[in-house]
Amino acid sequence: MIRRKRMMEDLDQDIRDHLEMETQDNIERGMSPEEARYAALRKFGNVTRVKEETREVWTFVWLEQLFQDVRFGLRMLRKSPGFTAVAVLTLALGIGANTAIFSIVNSVLLRPLAYREAQQLYLVREIIPELSRTYPSLPANLPNFRVWQRECHSFAEVAIVMSTGAMLTGYGEAEDINGGLASANLFDVLGIMPELGRTFLPQEDTPGKDHVVMLTNSFWRDRFQGDPKIVGRSITLDHQPFQVVGILPASFRFPKGDQFSASTGFPLRADYFKPLGLDPAQFSPLGEFDYAAIARLKPETSARQALAELDVIQARIAKDAKQGLGLRAEIIPLESAVVGTARRGLLLLLAGVGAVLLIVCLNLANLLLVRAPGRLREAGIRTALGASRARLARQLVTESALLAILGGVLGIGLAYFGLRWLVAVAPANLPRMDEVHVDARVLWFTVFISMLTGILFGALPAWRVAHAEPQQALKAGAVTITEGRPARRLRESLIGFEVGVGTLLLIVAGLLTTSMVRLLGVDKGFSTEHVLAANITLPPWSYTKFAQKQEFYENVLARVRALPGVKSAGWISRLPLQGEEKVDNIYVAGQLTPSSQASVANYRYVSPGYFESMGILLRRGRLIEPADRDRNVALISESVAKKVWPGENPLGKQFYPGSDEKTLAEVIGVVADIRTVALDEPPLMMVYLPIGCARPWSGSYSSLVVRAAVAPSALASAVRGAIQSVDSGVPIRHLEPMSEIVSESVGVRRFQMGLASLFAIFALLLAALGIYGVVGYSVARRRQELGIRMALGAQGSALRTLILLHGMSPVVVGWASGVLAALVAGRVIRGLLFGVSAQDPLTIASVTFVVLVTAALACYIPARRAMKVDPMVALRYE
């Protein structure tokens, strides 16, 4: 820039010198001084143009023109603040929403798991073909894992992990902490280096040497204030010393909740990891499928090869077990196992939010087109003065790019807050939400979509204006230029498109909402009204004997039942919708080997009072009574009765409740089926055993269910007091109405439904704004024509109808195509629906109603305004 300035100053001097020399030459040739000077100038040519051309040598012309365009664009935007505000705001909302949703998609679906070469990691699950109707696949089992470790050459390494928990004492307040019980090589398989200390050693897998733990970074910071000296020291878990050998890095994440499978449900927050220290000899090869097995495949091995090898090993294991059951395996890329079903929902949301941005673009294109005739005059003048079409178009596109950039900048701000809000309201079991943040890829995405939107909504109007005929534009004044049919068609088809996309979004959102309503209204088999539930864990050191635990449970029941407002109360080992617990066969007496119809049931341990409190109906026989507490009796659900004793009276039948059981249980009653693990999954077969029976159940955790005569939350503190009055050392985890638990179980759906509805409503409002703008504009244009019609005696109502019909015709076309698109798209979203067909007529009818009424309203307001016009004023209006 400095050089350019100096060169230009030199140039002036140079040209002056040149002209003087030439003049001098001419004088010498005999011209008069004046004549000589003119001749010199003539010979030199246009001084200004020479300077201009020379300056161009030293500058980027396009850059200067760009500055010009930007300055001019900003001036134009300032001149119409209303339009600018609407444009920037809708763009910011559109771009912001897209950025926020893309951040989630980016973190959950696009970014690889934070493990070394994560694409080589696979989750291994086992398949027992005989059970595959109820359980398509199962988590891994410990002895089989040992076999794979020894024999499967496709695996570079394989590790297993299951959830565990312990009570931390001796360091401030006692705390229930959660974590993983892992084979010593877990962190090697994942490729995680400790931040401090070391990971587990191979020998720490064996019983007796396993009293070591690794702490997660967040737990270490929260609980031990990030003290590095804790490494090497002992902490007390369940009254036993464990040496802290290492601290995991802050970047370490572990799949949570049911992302691996219901029966290895991991805590939402892992605090520590401990080596297995279990003896494989204690476990049977075809039971206890409790572990998540994570394998790292050798780089040269394909998943298919690995599976083939594994299936051979599995077949041999099954043969050796001689239980008449088959055994296969399945391997799933760890990433898809973690993300699971969240993928489809997220992609749907991304598509939805993209559609919203599309509508924003269409809307702005329309608003710009509406403004175009005003700009035509300006464009006409500029064309007449010699501006090229390309130059004109570039200037207009610069204007829309400016809008897009402003919208984008504001949008990033909105996205930042929107994202924080989304992460806060997202259900806890949506995978990887704790990893969500805005990274470079997200910012590039925003830049990209901002530019794209700028071009998208700017190109069409720019083209229109740039191709205007200057003569026509300059004739008579822009206002009276008749709007060509093509221009109107263009705007109407944009409106149609907007309405179509909006209708599609509304139908999808409507279907998701209907699904949600159906889901919450589904016959759960239990009732949630007036029911309060609490999860407790008994500290293992103070409750060492089974009888102590029984005593605690009975004492609590007695105290809670005595509370005013309590109708009934009971215990169950695990609440509905909170995962599975013991899953095992029902071995009917007399047929010791389970046949292929062997029925796998969910087992729960219950106290008297549970069924009354949960509102589960008794179908036959009787419920568990206090006298049954240690009798070998059982209640079964209706589906068990149907499946195991079809056509027979199940009462009095006997069976072994599980493969390890030596004593028979007698069926004393049949209760209603319930939705066991999720509202959208059909009821599972249930077997209920008395809480006091001497079955292999630790009894150290349980859930109290209380039916109240009043609102359940009003009883919460009284119930808490009653539990603590029995033993104040027993931690109460959740104490909440059962309706909350049901509501949490559908959190992911609610999240999807909420966002989809938000986007759909936004889309509808945008479309309405577009319709309003277009109809309002055409009414304004036709004021003169309408005035003439009125002056000639046309009825106001007739004119109103005319305008409404004109306004509504593209809406109807758009609506129809939106419905058609929804019918086609139905196939894609079917998997996200529950209890409603993708072509649900009621949903489509309601959406139709909403769309048409909104559109009619958007047409009616400007139409009514037109009718208030005094014909004389309208005729004079120019």
First to last CA, the chain: 50
Q: How far apart are CA 49 and CA 15, in angstroms?
A: 12
CB nearer another protein, residue 58 or residue 67: 58
**CA dist., res. 741 & res. 524, Å (int):** 13
Cβ distance to another protein smaller for residue 53 or 469: 53
Distance CA 284, CA 141 (A): 9
Subset of 423-442 contacting another protein (CB under 8 A): none
Q: Give whichever of 13 and 728 is closer to another protein, judged by the CB atom.
A: 13
Considering the complex, state which of residue 24 and residue 243 has its C-beta at the smaller distance from another protein.
Answer: 24
Residue 8 or 428 with smaller CB distance to another protein? 8
Beta-bridge partners for 370: none
- Using CB under 8 A, which residues numbered 492 to 511 contact another protein? none
| Shortest Å, Cβ 9 to another protein | 11
Nearer to another protein, 13 or 225 (CB): 13
Q: Which of 2, 157, 174, 17 has its CA nearest to residue 542?
A: 174
Only segment of 20-28, 268-276, 508-516, 734-742 that touches another protein (CB under 8 A): 20-28
Short-list 293, 676, 330, CA closest to 522:
676
CB of 25 to another protein, least distance (A): 8
Is 11 a binder of another protein (CB under 8 A)?
yes
Question: Are 155 and 306 a contacting pair, CB within 8 Å?
Answer: yes
In the complex, what is the shortest distance from the CB of residue 30 to another protein, in angstroms, rounded to a whole number?
17
Task: Report strand pairing: 633-637 vs 599-606.
Answer: unpaired
- Name residues contacting another protein, limited to 24-63 (CB under 8 A): 24-25, 43-47, 49-50, 53-54, 56-58
- Report the DSSP beta bridge partners of residue 735: 534
Minimum CB distance to another protein smaller for 37 or for 629 = 37
Residue with Cβ nearer another protein (17 or 238): 17
**Cα–Cα distance for residue pair 834/516, rounded to 1 Å:** 7
Q: Which is nearer to another protein, 17 or 117 (CB)?
A: 17
Tokens (6 digits) for 631? 């009798």
Residue with tokens 């897209």: 98
- Name the residue with tokens 């679906």: 109
Least CB distance to another protein at residue 68 (A):
21
Provide the sign of the torsion angle of the four alpha carbons 503, 504, 508, 514, taken in this order: positive
Position 462, amino acid: A
Residues 6+ apart with CB under 8 A from 821: 500, 503, 504
Q: Considering the complex, what minimum distance in angstroms separates the CB of residue 21 from another protein?
A: 4
Name the H helices within 704-746. Answer: 712-726, 738-745
How far is C-alpha 664 from the chain's CA centre? Answer: 47
Residue pair 775/858 in contact (Cβ under 8 Å)? The answer is yes
The values of phi and psi at residue 233, to 5°, are -90, 170
Q: Which member of 9, 10, 35, 551 binds another protein (CB under 8 A)? A: 10
Sign of torsion over alpha carbons 421, 424, 425, 431: positive
Q: Considering the complex, what minimum distance in angstroms separates the CB of residue 45 from another protein?
A: 4
Q: What are phi and psi of 126, to 5 degrees?
A: -110, 150
Q: Residue 16 or 304: which CB sits closer to another protein?
A: 16
Q: Under a CB-based contact definition with an 8 Å cutoff, are residues 771 and 855 in contact?
A: yes
H or E element in which residue 835 lies: none
728 near another protein, rule: CB under 8 A: no
The packing angle between helices 747-781 and 485-521, to 10°, is 160
From 10-18, 294-302, 583-591, 835-843, give the range in contact with another protein by CB under 8 A.
10-18
- Please select the residue that binds another protein; options are 1, 13, 208, 728, rule is CB under 8 A: 13
Of residues 46 and 471, the one with the C-beta less far from another protein:
46
> Residue 704: which of 555, 579, 553 has the closest Cα?
553
Structure tokens at 619: 């179908």
The least CB distance from residue 385 to another protein, in Å, is 24
CA gap 280, 302 in Å, rounded: 29
Q: Which is nearer to another protein, 49 or 79 (CB)?
A: 49
Segment near another protein (CB under 8 A); pick from 5-13, 527-535, 566-574, 801-809 = 5-13
Tokens of residue 763, six digits: 């889309």
Query: Of the two residues 42 and 78, which places its CB atom closer to another protein in the complex?
Result: 42
634 token code pair: 């059982």
- The tokens describing 768, both together, are 């309405």
- Cβ atoms of residues 179 and 270 within 8 Å: yes
Count of residues that interact with another protein, criterion CB under 8 A: 24
With H, G, I as helix, E, B as strand and everything else as coil, classify residue 686: strand
Q: Supply the minimum distance, in Å, between the C-beta of residue 458 and another protein.
A: 35
Buried/exposed 643-656: b ≥16 CB within 10 Å, e otherwise: bbbeeeebbebebb
* Cα–Cα distance measured from residue 523 to residue 491, given in angstroms and rounded to the nearest whole number: 50
Q: Is the CB of 31 or the CB of 825 nearer to another protein? A: 31
State which of residues 5, 9, 17, 233 lies at the interface with another protein (CB under 8 A).
17
CB 94 within 8 A of CB 356: yes
CB closer to another protein out of 7 and 850:
7
14 lines the binding site for another protein (CB under 8 A): yes
Site residues (CB under 8 A) for another protein, limited to 364-403: none
Is 416 within 8 Å of 447 (Cβ atoms)? no
Comparison of 46 and 717: residue with beta carbon closer to another protein: 46
Name the one range near another protein by CB under 8 A: 16-24, 189-197, 235-243, 469-477: 16-24
For another protein, the closer of residues 40 and 346 by Cβ is 40
Write the DSSP string, 809-834. HHHHHHHHHHHHHHHHHHHHHGGG--
Residue closer to another protein by CB (options 50, 805) is 50
d(CA 435, CA 339): 13
Burial of 42 (0-12, 13-18, 19+ CB in 10 A): exposed
Minimum CB–partner distance for residue 77 and another protein (Å): 36
- For the CB of residue 43, give the shortest distance to another protein in the complex, in Å: 5
Number of residues that make up the chain: 878
SS3 249: coil
Smallest gap from residue 10 Cβ to another protein (A): 6
Instruction: Determine which residue in the list 5, 9, 18, 316 makes contact with another protein, applying CB under 8 A.
Output: 18
Least distance from C-beta 391 to another protein, angstroms?
Answer: 22
Q: What minimum distance in Å lies between the beta carbon of 390 and another protein?
A: 22
Binding-site ranges for another protein (CB under 8 A): 7, 10-11, 13-15, 17-18, 21-22, 24-25, 43-47, 49-50, 53-54, 56-58
